[in-house]
């Protein structure tokens, strides 16, 4: 058959299909949310499911993080690239160049809650 895989033995573990790399690295600490909007394109597309792990509420290294911040008069969930700077401030970056990069100083950081660091994203295709 074209575009298919034939498996001639029973599948005993997920590692047989996907490999053992990192399958248990995060245990039960993985949480998920859905990407809304276009700010992280092309890295993360709208409606993708994003998996993230607890980082203790801090962005100590550069990466993509999930955080909550008040916007439009209510708390909103954001998925952005965060780069800690030497002076303690955080540079907030959207991968989509149509969105502006901004910096939060240490006082402004009190207004955000960092939920975790993104470890994966998964495209979801609906057929019904």
Q: Taking the CA atoms of the chain, what radius of gyration do you get in angstroms?
A: 18
Q: What is the 3-state secondary structure (H, E, C) of the chain?
A: CCCCCCCCCCCCCHHHHHCCCCCCCCCCCEEEEECCCCCCCCCCCCCCEEEEECCCCCCCCCEEEEEEEEECCEEEEEEEEEEECCCCCEEEECCCCCCCCEEECCCHHHHEEEEEEEEEEECCCCCC
Domain range list for the chain: 28-122
pTM value is: 0.77
**CATH number of the structural domain 28-122:** 2.10.109.10
The model's pLDDT over 41-80, given as tens digits with 9 standing for 90+, comes to 999 999 999 999 999 999 999 999 999 999 888 999 999 9
* Count of C-beta atoms within a 10 Å radius of residue 117: 19
Chain position carrying tokens 């203790």: 56
The model's pLDDT over 5-52, given as tens digits with 9 standing for 90+, comes to 444 555 454 444 444 455 455 555 788 999 999 999 999 999 999 999
Sign of the dihedral through C-alpha 36, 50, 61, 106 = positive
* d(C-alpha 78, C-alpha 99), whole Å: 13
pLDDT of residue 22: 54
Tokens linked to 20: 């053992």
The model's pLDDT over 89-119, given as tens digits with 9 standing for 90+, comes to 999 999 999 999 999 999 999 999 999 999 9
């Amino acid at each position: 058959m074209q575009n298919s895989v034939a498996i001639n033995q029973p599948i005993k573990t997920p590692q047989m299909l996907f490999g053992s790399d990192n399958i248990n690295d995060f245990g039960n600490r993985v949480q998920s949310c859905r990407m809304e909007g276009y700010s992280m394109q092309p890295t993360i597309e709208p409606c993708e499911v994003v998996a993230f792990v607890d980082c203790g509420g801090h962005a100590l290294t550069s990466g993509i993080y999930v955080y909550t911040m008040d916007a439009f008069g209510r708390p909103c969930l954001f998925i952005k690239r965060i780069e800690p700077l030497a002076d303690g401030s955080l540079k907030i970056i959207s991968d989509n160049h149509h969105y502006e990069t901004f910096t939060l100083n240490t006082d402004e950081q009190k207004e955000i809650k960092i939920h975790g660091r993104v470890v994966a994203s998964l495209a979801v295709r609906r057929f019904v």
